[in-house]
């Protein structure tokens, strides 16, 4: 469980992109039945209605699990953000989200105004906590140290092939948790010989090793997307795997410069 800054968020969540419609509803209902208590969605995924269908039909009470959603980068002006957030709540069929994030920064955003709007959602109890996603270190620093926005979480690409220490160290210094997206490098970690060898030692898969490496880190959550029940079950079971120092040393020796989510709208990561 992540407990920084008032957030109480299970470390393992279910990523829902790019699932849509019935596939998404079934995956979320199934995951809740398996024991997942953290679901990650976003307005841009166009699956909030499907997640809402799961929320409405799951036997698990809404208060028992965490939902994160996000506002897209062309809706960061306060009025647009308000409309987008209200639509998210309607589509999700919930009175509140546990965490609401700015999905990506935009070059023409008024950062202070957008963050003030996020804070207002929190003050109204409509977003229990707020945060950002995909902020390069300079923008993250401005958000926290200059604007002093009370953000609780930063969602970033993070996995065994990609070092994010500068952002993570800064977040830790300020008591802000990290959510690792693409924790399986979009599936590219499946079949990785180093991870598979570590897994074989423990009777586990390489994917489970990659997830447990993240979940073992303080204040780091991971949201693997899994549509298949086998994958959901395996990822949930990864929580009980015990990695040792030799395993961590082998993972530390993997290349760490492989960013896989770098779309046209991505910011200058080194800014």
Under rule CB under 6 A, residue 181 binds ligand NAP = yes
CB of 171 to ligand NAP, least distance (A): 15
Catalytic residue among 36, 45, 65, 181: 45
Yes or no: say if 51 and 16 are a contact pair by the CB < 8 Å rule.
yes
CB-wise, 120 or 233, nearer to ligand NAP? 233
* Segments in the chain forming alpha helices (H): 21-34, 48-57, 78-92, 111-123, 137-141, 165-173, 193-202, 206-215, 229-237, 245-252
Angle at CA 27, nearest 5°, toward 26 and 30? Answer: 80
Yes or no: say if 154 and 132 are a contact pair by the CB < 8 Å rule.
yes
CB-wise, 123 or 269, nearer to ligand NAP? 269
Closest CA to 102 of 125, 126, 87, 85: 85
Which region, judged by CB under 6 A, interacts with ligand NAP, from 81-89, 90-98, 185-193, 212-220?
185-193
Q: Which of residues 56-75 bind ligand NAP (CB under 6 A)?
A: none
Which of 183, 198, 213, 214: binder of ligand NAP (CB under 6 A)?
A: 183
Under rule CB under 6 A, residue 143 binds ligand NAP = no
Yes or no: say if 185 and 258 are a contact pair by the CB < 8 Å rule.
yes
Number of residues lying near ligand NAP (CB under 6 A): 27
Q: Which of residues 223-252 bind ligand NAP (CB under 6 A)?
A: 223-228, 231, 234-235
Under rule CB under 6 A, residue 186 binds ligand NAP = yes
Place of tokens 């109480």: 8
Residue nearest to ligand NAP (CB): 15
Strand 153-157 versus strand 177-181 pairing type: parallel
Tell me: cis bond preceding 18? Omega within 30 of 0 counts.
yes
Which of 51, 171, 207, 221: binder of ligand NAP (CB under 6 A)?
A: 207
Would you call 65 a catalytic residue per the annotation? no
Q: What residues are annotated to the active site?
A: 45
Give me the residues that bind ligand NAP (CB under 6 A), please. Answer: 15-17, 40, 103, 133-134, 155, 181-187, 190, 207, 223-228, 231, 234-235, 261
């Amino acid at each position: 469980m992540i407990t920084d800054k008032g957030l109480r968020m299970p470390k393992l969540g279910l990523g829902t992109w790019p699932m849509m419609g019935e596939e998404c509803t079934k995956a979320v209902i199934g995951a809740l039945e398996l024991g997942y208590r953290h679901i990650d969605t976003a307005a841009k995924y166009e699956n909030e209605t499907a997640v809402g269908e799961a929320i409405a039909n799951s036997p698990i009470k809404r208060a028992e699990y965490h939902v994160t959603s996000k506002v897209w980068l062309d809706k960061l002006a306060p009025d647009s953000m308000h409309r987008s957030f209200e639509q998210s709540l309607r589509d999700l069929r919930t009175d509140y989200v546990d965490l609401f994030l700015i999905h990506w920064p935009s070059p023409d955003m008024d950062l202070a105004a957008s963050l003030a709007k996020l804070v207002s959602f929190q003050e109204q109890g409509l977003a229990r906590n707020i945060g950002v996603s995909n902020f390069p270190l300079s923008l993250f620093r401005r958000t926290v140290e200059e604007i002093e926005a009370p953000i609780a979480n930063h969602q970033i690409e993070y996995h065994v092939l990609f070092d994010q220490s500068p952002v993570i160290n800064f977040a830790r210094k300020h008591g802000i948790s990290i959510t690792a997206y693409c924790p399986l490098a979009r599936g590219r970690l499946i079949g990785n010989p180093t991870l598979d060898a570590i897994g074989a030692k423990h009777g586990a898969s390489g994917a489970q090793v990659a997830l447990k490496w993240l979940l073992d880190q303080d204040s780091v959550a991971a949201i693997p997307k899994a549509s298949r029940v086998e994958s959901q079950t395996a990822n949930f079971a990864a929580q009980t795997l015990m990695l040792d120092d030799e395993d961590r040393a082998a993972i530390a020796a993997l290349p760490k410069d492989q960013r896989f989510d770098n779309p046209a709208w991505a910011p200058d990561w080194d800014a």
